[in-house]
Chain A
Amino acid sequence: MSENKVLHPGLNLHGTDPARHSRAETTIFGFWVFLMADLVLFALLLATYGSMSVHGVAEGPGPGELFDLKLPLIQTLALLASSLTVGLAMLHVKYRSDLRGLAIWLAATALLGLVFLALEALDFHRLAVTENAPPQRSGFLSIYFLLTGTHWLHVACGLIWMAVLAMQTAAWGLDSPVKLRLLRLGLYWHMLDVVWVAIFTFVYLFGALQ
């Protein structure tokens, strides 16, 4: 039965919504192309960071002096928890068409995302003001702020997208194009977590070892 095949990444709708499932294939593949291109962008930012954290410190402070591990660990745990909650929201999209449950899990995801953004913003402020290490101090700091700032903006855009989709779901329900948009939001959110795993390891953990 062709409808039972896995047609695209993420939760597939076969079983509960076969008609939309077969239409989802091309739509979600297009989004998958964007996500993979985004991964290449982040990989290159990380490569530049890897070089700059060794060669571009100039007379400024290096990663070993600036980063502590506790805050990034809490941020990692917040993003990980939000990956689970967005997954649970996707299960509601697929099985229940239960708008209340979906709203609760999306709200939990948004809350965890906001915690992440707030902690990161506090850290940016600590570096730029308290530690006197703004982006213009050295090449290392420029690329550090560019890399983590790009990720910060991605999470912020994800939250705005989530708010728009929450309104669309309330207005039109799940029996509309909104359903596939929610699936794509889920993929986007998981991908941001993948990028953060790389940042946590190659920026913070490696930095603590320098």
Chain B
Amino acid sequence: MTEDKRKYKLAESEDLGRKEELRRYLLGAASTLLLTLMSFAVVAFGGVERTTTLITVSVLALAQIAAHFRFFLHIDLWRSHRDDLMLILFTTLIILLMVGGTTWILFDQWSRMM
């Protein structure tokens, strides 16, 4: 490839890619901001029952974490590298096992000591 052609190719991909990638960051900022404010509002102003509030806030947190992975870390279930996705899956499994197990054992022990 000659120097001129290369420059042209760079300029072309630059224009298309940059706009789209900027849009992705702005979308990420907007959606995570909205989700943060929603979960804050549910707790601060919502007169909803406690269990419902806890579940709502947890779901909003999961949605926000998903938005962070999607828009900021650019994880895409179809286009991302398979190894990266497998590692996310494995980490999720480890977290579920260890957090679930820890919580189960500690709360069970607590109830036996009462």
Chain A residues in contact with chain B, CB under 8 A? 5-12, 15-16, 25, 29, 32-33, 36, 39-40, 43-44, 46-48, 50-51, 54-55, 69, 73, 76-77, 80-81, 83-84, 87-88, 91, 94-95, 187, 190-191, 193-194, 197-198, 200-202, 205-206, 208-209
Bound Cα distance from A7 to B22, whole angstroms: 19
Q: Are B43 and A10 in contact (CB under 8 A)?
A: no
Given contacts A51-B103, A209-B54, 12 further A-B pairs with CB under 8 A are A5-B79, A39-B91, A40-B94, A44-B102, A51-B102, A51-B107, A84-B25, A95-B18, A194-B65, A197-B32, A200-B36, A208-B44
Q: Are B88 and A16 in contact (CB under 8 A)?
A: no
Q: Are B39 and A55 in contact (CB under 8 A)?
A: no
Q: Are A80 and B33 in contact (CB under 8 A)?
A: yes
Bound Cα distance from A11 to B14, whole angstroms: 13
Q: How far is the CB of B21 from chain A (nearest CB, A)?
A: 6
- Residues of A within 8 Å of B65, CB to CB, are 194, 197-198
A-B CB contacts (within 8 Å), total count = 144
Q: Are A32 and B87 in contact (CB under 8 A)?
A: yes
Bound Cα distance from A47 to B10, whole angstroms: 48
Bound Cα distance from A40 to B97, whole angstroms: 11
Knowing A16-B10, A47-B103, say if A69 contacts B40 (CB, 8 Å): yes
Grouping DSSP codes into helix (H, G, I), strand (E, B) and loop, the A interface class, with mixed when no group exceeds half, is helix
Grouping DSSP codes into helix (H, G, I), strand (E, B) and loop, the B interface class, with mixed when no group exceeds half, is helix
Knowing A51-B107, A83-B32, say if A190 contacts B73 (CB, 8 Å): yes
B1-35 interface (Cβ within 8 A of A): 10, 13-14, 17-18, 21-22, 25-26, 28-29, 32-33
Knowing A7-B81, A10-B73, A40-B95, say if A91 contacts B18 (CB, 8 Å): yes
Knowing A8-B81, A40-B94, A201-B58, say if A77 contacts B87 (CB, 8 Å): no
Q: Are B69 and A194 in contact (CB under 8 A)?
A: yes
Q: Are B57 and A201 in contact (CB under 8 A)?
A: yes
Q: Are A206 and B98 in contact (CB under 8 A)?
A: no
Contact for B73 among A9, A29, A47, A197, CB less than 8 A = A9
Knowing A8-B84, A32-B87, say if A43 contacts B98 (CB, 8 Å): yes
Q: Are A50 and B21 in contact (CB under 8 A)?
A: no
Bound Cα distance from A190 to B74, whole angstroms: 11
Q: Are B28 and A84 in contact (CB under 8 A)?
A: yes
- Residues of B within 8 Å of A43, CB to CB, are 95, 98-99
Bound Cα distance from A25 to B94, whole angstroms: 24
Contact for B57 among A10, A16, A206, CB less than 8 A = A206
Knowing A29-B84, A201-B57, say if A40 contacts B40 (CB, 8 Å): no
